[in-house]
Structure 1
Amino acid sequence: MPTATLLLISTTAALIPTLFYVSIVYWVDRYEKEPAWLLAATFFWGAVPGVLLAFLLNSLLGLPLYLLTSNGPYADTAVAIFGAPLVEESVKGLALVAIFLFWRQEIDSPLDGIIYGAMVGLGFAMVENIYYFMSEYWLGGTAAWGINVFLRTVIFGLNHALFSSFTGLGIAVARLSPRLAVKFAAPVLGWGTAVFLHFMHNLTVATGGVLVCFSFVFDWGGICLILVIILWALLQEQNWIKHYLADEVTQNTLTVNQYRLACSGHQRMLFNLEMLLNKGWRANRRANHFFHRCSELAYKKHHHHLFSDKQSAAAITKLRREIHDLSQFLL
């Protein structure tokens, strides 16, 4: 098969499941969607600079082993097991640290950290998959290529998203906690969990035999754990919205019906669909914006409850005015 054709087919095989996983991650964020540009930038970091930097660092780590052992396969395996988890989770984590440093206002809940972590992981995995698909074809032909595609996009398709989502979770917990010890410990614990899961996956797969079965336990066990955390985070967000928007009705920021709609992701979706079908795209966008601002108001009030900071107080005042103005179109 010509290299150009192989590249096109391998890219397609990596891109389609990635788009599917990205759409799921985006859908999960029900109450306050993260900025599309920041999600795209996070994905891009994982896909291009992250992959290139990880390749460079992994190569530098492997060079001494190559020189000492003169055994390429041994050095590759050692780097994959011991070096790659540290390097790749750190490289992906740089994007999450940047979000914390420069766009921390976008991290309003633990779920936000998971979302950004999953995005950088999916970007990294997509480009890495293209490389491995092509390499596997050159080594074993079409059959080996197909098996590799199935394993890397289906069985282990969420691995990189899983690993870096724990790093993102740790950073989000640090952002939202008023306790200094948690601010230092949570990111380290999240990153450490990502490295450990990555290490266990690479160890069991590289060792082969019966140990490969344990990779399913660690990988899918981690996915189940992060799903439980996501469900908990969604319930927590809904409770924040119910609690912090309740007094907005008495302040005439919201009507009772608007409050009821804002408290339910399902009701929001139905209302937005009704706006689209009956009043058009512009009304749908306005309704989306209204509910997004309602969620943001609840999160800012929660943040102000924790930290009593001036920035949150100013944001609350501004959001109330904006929501009141938007609500006039939704009466």
Structure 2
Amino acid sequence: MRALPASAAPVVVTGTGTAVTGLTGPADLLRRPPYGPGGFDPVTGLKGRELRNLDRASRLALRAAAPALTEAQLLDADGGFTGEADTAAVVVSSTLGTLDTVAALSDTIAREGVTGLTPLGLPGTSSNVCAGYLAIRHGLRGPSLTVCNGQSSGLDALFWARVLLAAGRARTVLVVGVEPSGPAVTRLLGRETTDAAAAVVLERAEDAAARGAHPRALLAACGRASSAAQAAAEAAGGLAAPLEGPVDLWLTGEQQAGEEELTAGAPRLDVEQALGPLSGALGVVQCAAAVAHLDATRAETVLASAGGGPETAAALLLTRYVPPNSERTEQS
């Protein structure tokens, strides 16, 4: 995967949302636990008539998507999508999202045979079921796809959303990274995980401006390589203008060490240190954290990187968005 040309139309984030155990919203991703009262509780937060018969990953995804679409000013009071539905796409990143459903149905077959299965449970075995439910719930009739290739999956999903916008296949893209906790996931990983979903809404900057939406951050460049450092360098090579010094924050894991020019001296934040393994949700959670950091500070650039090993690392550079023909002003 290579960065898009610098001439591609700018793509901005106009909404973020989370459904992560204990967190009240994306800003909590920048804090250390305990997060305080009022955080998301899956015991109560995953109930409701509209969530009945849905798999756990889809319920989490819907809970994260609603605040992101609301913040982007794309939902009405009844939860209906107010944008151009035919050009609204969904991209989901989830590696283990359907594992518990598949395991449960496999256990049923082992005990009772195929006659023990119910039609209501079978859709939950598809890796694309989460994207489908998001599209159905909000009436998004553009492309719908799922990326499920491990830890770099979330950043890859953001890249492909950016490609959909650059190619004119979509004018709005809802990107969701989701990984549910559950017995099968615990057995596979050898530890209990956290229910986690994050959502971001992406649009071309000109479309956001035309409808009066507030761009929260610019997806400046993406890169992919065999290491986090190489992926970051590839992303930096796709920027319209070189960065002046290191990034202001590096969202990375402990395994991604090394002082490169782009990250030398930059503070690091590992969101998995507080939340546990996030797998396919990681990159989208990092993007939500990056936007929250740009909102809360005078930072100009945030780098997110995930993955490692042969051809599995991805990187994303987010910067503060400056509208054309406007001058950057100092924050008070």
Structures share a fold, TM > 0.5? no
Q: Select the structure with the greater relative contact order (CA < 8 A; seq sep ≥ 6).
A: 2
Max radius of gyration: which structure? 1
TM-score (structure 2 length as normaliser): 0.30
TM-score (norm 1): 0.30
More helix by share: 1
